[in-house]
Amino acid sequence: MKSFENKKIFIESNEYTYRVEHLTLEGTCSTDHGPRNVKIKNLLVDKYPVTNQQYSFFLKKTGYQPRDSQRFLEHKPNKKIFNLPVVFVSQNDAIAYAKWVGGRLPTDEEWQYIAAGPKYLDWPWGNKFNPLLCNHDGNKLESVNAFRKGESWCGCVDMSGNCWEWTAGIHHDGNHQFALLRGGSYFYAHDHWHVGGGARKNSYHWKLQILNEGMNRAATLGFRCVYDAE
């Protein structure tokens, strides 16, 4: 598989009106879903989600080992799948990588701005859903650059579908801990009681209720990094 550069894209600081819907059927998602004004600082953002190749390189260089390795990289990354997004990583695993590359995970607000932009697009590529521009209801993960035509306003690719992406932070509501996931994935479970899968709109997040790391890792869950910029 031919490798490629996961270059960084500059996002100029801006203010925008954040408004998000959450996908959970029952229960609550105790965050401020807006509409509210948010300020995005100058950022650099990965064009693609972090790939297996990038993550493998990180492991090789750092010898990173999670404290709890249950399901960590369960898919066993190898050269054949180097261009696929890295999955089976917890938020801690993602943060460890991001720190090493000098970045961090995007906040929920930043992620939405990177995907929707100042025009508040519903989907990374526009306002109409197009399953040909993303890995929606596919059978497996695809290379992060397989849907380049589905890039967002700033040039980020694979923001909707293929794999869910971690955002920064663990939210506490006094009784629960949860993280917010973005973008949806290729996997589209058959029943309405399942997590609403498939490619998801820019304005949707899903509340992943945190448990042990084995439960926090999934075959459809990866990440991309952002970097604070001057």
Positions that interact with another protein (CB under 8 A): 24-29, 68, 70-71, 164, 173-178, 185, 187, 189-197, 207-212, 214-215, 217-221
Minimal distance, residue 209 CB to another protein, in Å: 4
CB-count exposure of residue 55 (10 Å: 0-12, 13-18, 19+):
buried
How are beta strands 177-182 and 204-209 bridged, if at all? antiparallel
**CA atoms within 13 Å, Cβ hemisphere of 17:** 4
Nearer to another protein, 42 or 177 (CB): 177
Minimal distance, residue 162 CB to another protein, in Å: 12
Q: Alpha-carbon distance 23 to 150, whole Å? A: 22
Minimal distance, residue 177 CB to another protein, in Å: 6
Minimal distance, residue 196 CB to another protein, in Å: 8
Centre a 10 Å sphere on the Cβ of residue 79 and count the other Cβ atoms it contains. 11
Minimal distance, residue 179 CB to another protein, in Å: 12
Nearer to another protein, 96 or 208 (CB): 208
Nearer to another protein, 155 or 196 (CB): 196
Nearer to another protein, 50 or 208 (CB): 208
Nearer to another protein, 63 or 174 (CB): 174
Nearer to another protein, 131 or 170 (CB): 170
The pair phi, psi for residue 153, each rounded to 5°, is -55, -30
Minimal distance, residue 20 CB to another protein, in Å: 17
Contacts of 134 (CB under 8 A, 6+ apart): 123, 124, 147, 150, 158, 160, 161, 162, 199
